[in-house]
Structure 1
Amino acid sequence: MKPVNKAELLRNLEDRVEEHISEAIALFQNLSNADLNKPSPTGGWSIAQCLDHLNSYGDFYLPHIEKNLLHAADGNTSEFKSSWFGAYFTNMMDPETGKKKYKAMTGHIPASDLNGPKVVGEFLRQQEALMDYIRKARNKDLGEINIPISISKLIRLRLGDVFQFLIAHNERHMQQAKRNLMGAKAAKIG
């Protein structure tokens, strides 16, 4: 993998998280519980299920990121180089490069009837925390901090790779939730 400018990478990731926060507020925050839990017209997850799935990943990764950032020494590096494994996982989840559908891992499969407004609120809280961690990472070496992955605590990814994976995964399911919203609106009109 080719090294990238760390400041640019973090700015880009911060912009994407900010976009997810803005979209969640504008599109989902004021929906009724019934609308948030309405199954997708194509048989997929509801908006609440999409966001709850993302929250389950946040529940795993955010505490690990926080703890590792807190204990990491400042690192004055200007570049970040993804590991092969980290780039693979990110590309797999990124909606632009990973077109294949994947089955959700056990422990990350959302219930079918959720408290939708609570799920949206938790998603927003987690995105704000993620934004804070990205900002705190500016003074850290993204390649030196290693975070366990949710499918095996024995496998660890570089912090820069974890940020990229999480945000690509968030983008994938935000797009799914937005398609559900558009499908529900089209069904009401039709």
Structure 2
Amino acid sequence: MESAADFLADLARRTQALQVTLATELRPQSEAVLNHRPAPGSWSALECLEHLNRYGRHYLPALRQALARPARPAHRLAPVRFSWLGRKSYELVRPENAQPHRTLPRMNPVSSLLSAAAVVAELENQLVELARLIRTAPASDLNRKAVPVEFLRLLKLRNGEALLFVVAHAQRHLAQATRAAGAGRAAVCLPA
């Protein structure tokens, strides 16, 4: 079991790296680069970012509410434990898992009309909010089941599991977006 302080410090580092990646690798790209799909059926960089925004619209308010409830002193900064659901959720989205997964139709941004500026700005704001939530998390019980799973709200993740899920999911799709943008740069720069 990992200590809560180490767990949260790691999540804070990962979130900061996500903010840097978004600001340096993706924000400067043109609309054409961000909208380029590397292959038929794959997402563009912009679609990857919008997918994260859609998940953030569910998980960030749920985390804000869950983490606002202070923990009893005995539960504050207790070692982080994981349930079967939490481990499985993380395993599906961890960045090292290269296996593609189907997403829920409402979370699939394909064929959406997307504005690069609006999508990137929303994700920037969501990452700022995520960093703030991680900073406030030491006052809460990370092992309390309080965050409803997006696809079946009767199931709940523990607060710590939900934080890890959101960060790992963002890492996975920002890496995907960076690869798509790289392919977009190559395609946009090719002579006609």
The answer to whether the aligner puts 1:106 opposite 2:105 as a matched pair is yes
Rounded to whole Å, the distance in 2 between the matches of 1:92 and 1:29 is 27
Instruction: In structure 2, give the amino acid aligned to 1:38.
Output: H
Rounded to whole Å, the distance in 2 between the matches of 1:103 and 1:24 is 24
Aligned partner of 2:58 in structure 1 is 60
TM-aligned CA deviation for residue 70 of structure 1: 1.6
State the TM-score, normalizing by the size of structure 1. Answer: 0.91
SS at match of 1:51: helix
TM-aligned CA deviation for residue 4 of structure 1: 1.1
SS at match of 1:80: coil
Rounded to whole Å, the distance in 2 between the matches of 1:153 and 1:163 is 16
- Preserved CA contact (<8 Å) 1:6 1:78: yes
- Preserved CA contact (<8 Å) 2:90 2:165: yes
Q: Which runs of 5+ in 1 are unaligned?
A: none
SS at match of 2:119: helix
Rounded to whole Å, the distance in 2 between the matches of 1:78 and 1:71 is 15
CA offsets 1:46-79 (integer angstroms, 9 cap, x no match): 1110000000000001011111222333542331
SS at match of 1:142: coil
Rounded to whole Å, the distance in 1 between the matches of 2:101 and 2:59 is 19
The answer to whether the aligner puts 1:143 opposite 2:152 as a matched pair is no
The answer to whether the aligner puts 1:174 opposite 2:184 as a matched pair is no
TM-aligned CA deviation for residue 144 of structure 1: 1.7
- Preserved CA contact (<8 Å) 1:86 1:162: yes
State the TM-score, normalizing by the size of structure 2. Answer: 0.90
Rounded to whole Å, the distance in 1 between the matches of 2:123 and 2:67 is 21
Give the number of aligned pairs: 187
- Preserved CA contact (<8 Å) 2:70 2:139: no
CA offsets 1:16-64 (integer angstroms, 9 cap, x no match): 1111100100012122222222222464111110000000000001011
CA offsets 1:70-111 (integer angstroms, 9 cap, x no match): 233354233111112101110111121x23211111210114
SS at match of 1:107: helix
Q: How big is the alpha-carbon RMSD for the aligned residues of Structure 1 and Structure 2?
A: 1.7
Aligned partner of 2:16 in structure 1 is 18
After alignment, is 54-63 or 66-75 more displaced?
66-75
Where do 1:21-32 residues align within 5 Å?
21-32=19-30
Q: CA, structure 1 residues 81+10, in 2 after alignment: closer, same or farther (shift >3 Å)?
A: same
Instruction: In structure 2, give the amino acid aligned to 1:64.
Output: A
After alignment, is 132-141 or 26-35 more displaced?
26-35
SS at match of 2:77: coil
Name which of 53, 70, 73 aligns with 2:71: 73
SS at match of 2:105: coil
SS at match of 1:168: helix
- What percentage of aligned pairs have identical amino acids? 30
- Preserved CA contact (<8 Å) 1:57 1:108: yes
Q: Runs of 4+ in structure 1 displaced over 6 angstroms? A: none
- Preserved CA contact (<8 Å) 1:72 1:145: no
